Amino acid sequence: MWDALEQRGEVLLNQGLLDQAILDFNHVLRLVPKRAPSYDDRGLAFLLQGKELQAQQDFDRCLSINPAMASELKLHIQKARSFMQSQLRPSDAP
């Protein structure tokens, strides 16, 4: 059950439906409190919402559970920050 919720949360995250994604990741983490990828994903959703403190707490928790995710987590954060910066740039449209 939790894996379907996590997958749906990832789809919602990729669609930019951040509040709904966070709800799914919250549910997963209630069911499986040490599910590092859900902390990673929820942290990304928080980061994209501009909630950097909450994002950092989730990233720290992810790494405390699974330190081997450090490279993957760093890549996710870089992609999220690049996306956020691209959204701040003026449009190239006339």
Domains and CATH numbers, the chain: 2-86 (1.25.40.10)
pLDDT digits (tens, 9 = 90+) for 4-34: 999 999 999 999 999 999 999 999 999 999 9
Is residue 38's pLDDT more than 90?
Answer: yes
Name the region of 16 (left: φ>0; alpha: ψ -120 to 50; beta: rest). left
Is residue 92's pLDDT more than 80?
Answer: no
pLDDT of residue 65: 97
